[in-house]
Amino acid sequence: MNTYRSLRAIQSALQADDITCLSLTQSYLQRIHDQKDLNAFLEVYETEALASAQIVDDKLKAGTAGCLAGMVIGIKDNICYNGHRLSAASKILDGFESMFSATVVERLLAEDAIIIGRLNCDEFAMGSTNENSAYGSVLNPVNTKHVAGGSSGGSAAAVAADLCLASLGSDTGGSIRQPASFCGVMGYKPTYGRVSRWGLIAYASSFDQIGPFTHNAEDAALLMEVMAGSDEYDSTCSEKAVPKYSQKLNNNKSYTIGYIKETLESPALDAEIKSHILDKIEQLNASGHKVIALDFPYLHYVVPTYYVLTTAEASSNLARYDGVHFGYRSSDAQDIPSTYANSRTEGFGEEVQRRIMLGTFVLSAGYYDAYYTKAQKVRRLLLDKTQAIFENCDFILSPTSPHTALEIGKTYDDPTQLYLEDIFTVHANIVGIPAVSLPTGTHSNGLPFGIQLMAPAFKDDELLAVSNQIMNM
């Protein structure tokens, strides 16, 4: 069967009777089996997906199918799906089965998307390589000696390898955009509050957002259109009306795009990626856009600010995993203290433990003001500076990642060195704005990489439109 890279192409083939949803789903299941060594899927819903495909085929014949009919999609293993196992790639949730579906899952199913399985990720979405999963690393389908990125590595790899048309990930500090860059697909992080977090296992509640991986802006816009909107179960979800994103893609407007000089001057930035960004700037100018240089003197503060705040929130959010209520319980538990201590020590991986301890430290009585309070003040400073930048431009352009995908198994003397992987991506999460990674480049080493665009809050429609322009240049 043909490989399809857009829902439009799939729906055209369905209309022409070239394929059925059932045959399409069977082809995806076969590819998942053939490429199981990528370790992208933790569980495949084979029987259920085939049954769903048949139902959608019947709806298509009856003319009652939803707008996502023909879309086969995978979901990250931190998004709840009623009656299905859920682990956040952690041993501590071993055997846990969700009793409800996330709002995004319900909305996808209502429009006849076919959910094919749950996807591997870094444990509790904490990591930049997908090597922190309790179930093994995800391999990059472009070159299996390299990581797929994190934390949504399985979601990115599955789309890049054509194991499903699209997937859902979560982005706390770049966990959609960075793996999208490493695997050569589009990864979209919505405005904070644009998409409900109900049913997403929390890492850092004031940062987390669910978003899509796709091959193009059109599919991302359609998924956003379906998923976005207010939700009575999520008080942080905006009541703002949801635009028809998919109908606003082809506006062909000329924009003012700013690039932060400090990102291109960063010593961590690969020379080829820098050259590509400069070429893209020239291309944008030539196509009618105006690209201007921006000063952002706070680049070196974004990573420490992000890790102080997110680990503090993680320390609180992960306190519920205690070996008592559900999930893993140590066999060495003798009493209440040993139940808590042994279950959490054995159930959580090293990186999750590190972040819990860091978060507990910055929230402790003696250090709260020195770290957490100060980081909240810096967060406000970053928001004010970002809003001032958007008074002079429509979007901010930067690299997504300083380099292409890392080799699997690379070790560091200081494990916090990996935190600098997020230097270009955490900005959007700290201030709550939408951001996207677009697959525009291929390095001389054969690996893909992306460019990042950020927009003002709730300008998701404009960001998707300019993304469509750039991807079609």
**What is the pLDDT at residue 254?**
96
Global pTM value:
0.97
Distance CA 341, CA 335 (A): 10
**What is the pLDDT at residue 416?**
75
**What is the pLDDT at residue 358?**
97
Distance CA 426, CA 11 (A): 36
Structure tokens of 147?
A: 């990581």
DSSP 195: B
**What is the pLDDT at residue 151?**
97
Whether 151 is catalytic is: yes
Structure tokens of 99?
A: 């009793």
Q: How many residues does the chain have?
A: 473
Catalytic residue (one of 52, 76, 152, 246): 76
Distance CA 313, CA 315 (A): 5
Distance CA 189, CA 325 (A): 32
**What is the pLDDT at residue 422?**
93
Whether 206 is catalytic is: no
**What is the pLDDT at residue 163?**
98
**What is the pLDDT at residue 225?**
98
Q: Does residue 112 come out as left (phi exceeding 0), alpha (psi in the -120 to 50 range) or beta?
A: left
Structure tokens of 180?
A: 């999208």
Picking from 416, 417, 429, 436, the residue whose alpha carbon sits closest to that of residue 178 is: 436
Residue 366 CB: number of other CB atoms within 10 A?
A: 7
Tell me the three state secondary structure of residue 351: helix
**What is the pLDDT at residue 186?**
98
Q: Mean pLDDT for each consecutive 10-residue tract of the chain (473 residues)?
A: 93 98 98 98 98 98 98 98 98 94 98 98 97 98 98 98 98 98 98 98 98 98 98 97 96 95 94 98 97 96 97 96 86 89 95 97 95 98 98 97 95 79 96 98 98 98 98 93
Residue 135 CB: number of other CB atoms within 10 A?
A: 17
Tell me the three state secondary structure of residue 92: helix
Distance CA 229, CA 238 (A): 7
Please work out, in degrees rounded to the nearest 5, the angle formed at the alpha carbon of residue 182 by the alpha carbons of 144 and 408. Answer: 40
**What is the pLDDT at residue 55?**
98
**What is the pLDDT at residue 419?**
86
Whether 76 is catalytic is: yes
The answer to whether 187 and 177 are in contact (CB under 8 A) is: yes
Distance CA 290, CA 392 (A): 11
Catalytic residue (one of 128, 137, 151, 181): 151
Picking from 213, 163, 209, the residue whose alpha carbon sits closest to that of residue 188 is: 213
Catalytic residue (one of 175, 196, 266, 398): 175
The answer to whether 126 and 352 are in contact (CB under 8 A) is: yes
Which residue ranges form the domains of the chain, and what is each CATH number?
7-247 (3.90.1300.10)
Distance CA 209, CA 308 (A): 19
Distance CA 241, CA 451 (A): 29
How many CA atoms lie less than 13 Å away from 85 in the CB half-sphere? 19
